[in-house]
Amino acid sequence: MKNTLDFYTKIYDPLVEKNYGKSLDRSGPALKIFKKFAKNNNVKIKNVIDVGCRWGKALKYWQGRRIKSIGVDVSKNIVDYCNKRKLNCYLASATDLSIFEDKKFDLYMATDVYEHLRTEDLGHAINEAKRVTKKYLLIRPHPTLDRRGRKNIKEALHLTVWSLEKWQKFFEDNGLNVIKVGENGDIIYKNTFLMSINK
């Protein structure tokens, strides 16, 4: 694990103060995939961790289904916002989830998070994801520069810009099985990866 909380908080707390992205629901497509997979395979889960939970929309989704959910974010403002709304949220970085024990969660999710990590931090993040998860991972990386269209990577919010093929190779190289979800074994939303851990 690697403590990167200060680094990422300095980037994202100022954006949160401006309510950046409050109206967006980045988790929706990922949740739709997991719902389809769970229904088709009679999968039951008891608890979820949402890393980079933002305004807690996925936490509300799980809470509404009586599934215990915990959010994690690098922004203290986000953590305060979620906790005031009775959504269980902790201040931590994807690269260091040491506040949680091994194999605590049935599902680890991170939607529009991994592209915001520096490339050198990705290995730490995926190792922590595998450590705290006993069943499934649901990760939705964005494969392009952020919408602001900044061409200078030092100014961009997407710090790792990889093709979907490179993301899939990264996940598979780190011992994860990509699960195909769809009518013909296709992934419904191409930039959402539902995965299980190799035994």
> Could you give the CA distance from residue 74 to residue 91 in angstroms, rounded to a whole number?
6
Question: What CATH number does residue 74 fall under?
Answer: 3.40.50.150
- Which residues are bridge partners to 176 per DSSP? 197
Q: How far is CA 20 from CA 35, 39, 78, 132, 192, in A?
A: 28, 34, 11, 29, 22
- Judge whether 88 lies within some domain: yes
- Judge whether 145 lies within some domain: yes
- Judge whether 117 lies within some domain: yes
H-only helix segments in the chain:
5-17, 28-41, 57-64, 76-84, 122-132, 164-173
Per-residue pLDDT of the chain (199 residues), as tens digits, is: 899 999 999 988 887 776 666 766 779 889 999 998 999 899 999 999 999 998 999 999 999 999 999 999 999 999 999 999 999 999 999 999 999 999 999 999 999 999 999 999 999 999 999 999 999 999 999 887 765 545 554 557 888 989 999 999 999 999 999 998 866 655 556 789 999 987 6
- Judge whether 185 lies within some domain: yes
- Judge whether 73 lies within some domain: yes
Enclosing domain of residue 110: 5-16+27-197
Total-model pTM? 0.91
- Judge whether 22 lies within some domain: no
Of the candidates 174, 167, 132, 137, the one whose C-alpha atom is nearest the C-alpha of residue 34 is 137
> Structurally, how many domains does the chain consist of?
1
> Could you give the CA distance from residue 117 to residue 78 in angstroms, rounded to a whole number?
18
> Could you give the CA distance from residue 154 to residue 123 in angstroms, rounded to a whole number?
20
* Angle value at C-alpha 114, between 27 and 104, nearest 5 degrees: 75
How would DSSP label each residue in 57-96? HHHHHHHHTT-EEEEEES-HHHHHHHHHTT--EEE-BTTB
- Judge whether 126 lies within some domain: yes
